[in-house]
Amino acid sequence: MADRATVLIVGAGPAGLVLGNLLRANGIDTLILERGSRERVQTRARAGFLGANSARVLTEHGLAAGMLRSGQSHDTCAFRDAEGEFELNYGELGRGEVHTVYPQQHLVTDLIAEYLHRGGRIRFDVTVTEIDAATATVRHNGGESRGRFVVGCDGSNGVSRRALPADLATRHARDHGIAWLAVLTEAPQSMTAVTYALHDNGFAGHMARSPQVTRYYLQVCADDDPAAWPDERIWSELAIRMRVDRFGPLREGPVTERRMVRLRSDVVDPMQHGRLFLAGDAASLISPSAAKGANLAIMQAEVLARALTDAVTREDEAALRAYSRTCLPRIWRAQEFSHWMITLLHGPAAAEPDAGFQRVLRRARLSSLRDSRSHQDFFAENYVGI
């Protein structure tokens, strides 16, 4: 016999879990289907930068206890290059907004616990094989589940996206041709701020995650094997790109995770068909250059929760029909800023015929950000907001 729920949600990431919690708060029956185990979902280390709107959504809907207890407020970032370093206190620029750093695996753990407390149902280790957008039927390794609506939050390579007819949905995609080695270290932060280092060897980034854990990024060749980067090599290259001879040593520690991240972006338009709606990376994959992924997911979840609540409780589907039109302008604004960050942080390959021109152009961009108040206000508004 098929499982039934008013809203079926495929995927237990930030988008699916925030959506499930908001729907349960409105008394709507939901079922989340997740392909991973609960342990895996709750231990996946992902980005932890929550913008002001995300913090608002979590706080207003009673989902922020862990974040408020353990999250760290960040209002400054720094840029380093051959000419020196400068800091931007973006908390005093633009709208005066800040980030809250709270590791995504901790947020997911909180959201699962609260969702279950609110009476939500979730099934782990479920592999979805097919979604019928017309009938809101989800087929999986445990049989099938049926609902009034289906929301796909299973990522850019999930089944949900493939359920949209190719002739009705356009995928706007770009591979930026850049790869990062994402490194998680058991080491206290070495700098007081998030730091972006621009170097001829490639980009390097420093992002604190907790008092004893720091995330680093290294731009590497796209075909590099993370195993070819032992701890010693990682710290050596970070020291070069972070210019420790000029700014002081890094606080080193064991590397606990190393994985490759390809900088890709894509957007599905529209993000809906029939009874199926997409959210999170299933709807819009964004490069990590500006930490927008989880924040876009939370924004989409809030918009969709309101629309689904209207449809279920008032039989008013106007907001559901407008879901794509409501979200896509904000998604594209985030994509534009992310692309701007990519061009700022990553220099040209040495073999490119106009590499010299591009390097000087990048230096001019950075100088403008350092010296122009209007440029700084633009940066702050887009860096924290969507």
CA–CA distances in Å: residue 327 to residues 9, 153, 278: 19, 15, 11
Question: Considering Cα of 342, then 90, then 333, then 354, what sign does the dihedral take?
Answer: negative
Largest CA distance in the chain: 67
What does the radius of gyration of the chain's CA atoms come to, in whole angstroms? 21
Spatial neighbors of 203 by CB under 8 A, at least 6 apart, are 180, 196, 197, 217, 218, 219, 241, 345, 346, 347
For the stretch 233-238, contacts whose Cβ atoms lie closer than 8 Å and that sit 24 or more positions apart, written own/partner, are 234/181, 234/183, 234/258, 237/201, 237/204, 238/204
Annotated active-site residue 254? The verdict is: no
Question: Considering Cα of 188, then 190, then 191, then 197, what sign does the dihedral take?
Answer: negative
Q: Which of 292, 323, 339, 346 is catalytic?
A: 292
Spatial neighbors of 53 by CB under 8 A, at least 6 apart, are 295, 298, 299, 385, 386
Tokens of 299: 């924004």
> What are phi and psi for residue 287, nearest 5 degrees?
-65, 155
Q: Which of 74, 106, 206, 339 is catalytic?
A: 74
Annotated active-site residue 288? The verdict is: yes
Q: Which of 90, 102, 217, 383 is catalytic?
A: 383
Annotated active-site residue 74? The verdict is: yes
Q: Which of 196, 216, 217, 323 is catalytic?
A: 196
Q: Which of 106, 288, 323, 339 is catalytic?
A: 288
Q: 294 and 50 in contact (C-beta within 8 Å)?
A: yes
Catalytic residues: 74, 196, 288, 292, 383
